[in-house]
Amino acid sequence: MKIVISQNRAPRFWIPVPAALLTSALSARVMQEALNQQGWQISSAQAKLFCQAVRDFGREHRGWVLVDVKASDGTGVKIVL
Residue 77 pLDDT exceeds 90: yes
- Whose CA is closest to 23, among 48, 2, 60? 48
Q: How far is CA 45 from CA 31, 38, 48, 49, in A?
A: 12, 18, 5, 6
pLDDT digits (tens, 9 = 90+) for 27-74: 999 999 999 999 999 999 999 999 999 889 988 998 899 899 999 888
Residue 19 pLDDT exceeds 90: no
CA-to-CA distance for 31 and 25, rounded, in angstroms? Answer: 10
Confidence at 20, pLDDT banded by 50, 70, 90:
confident
- CB 23 within 8 Å of CB 54: yes
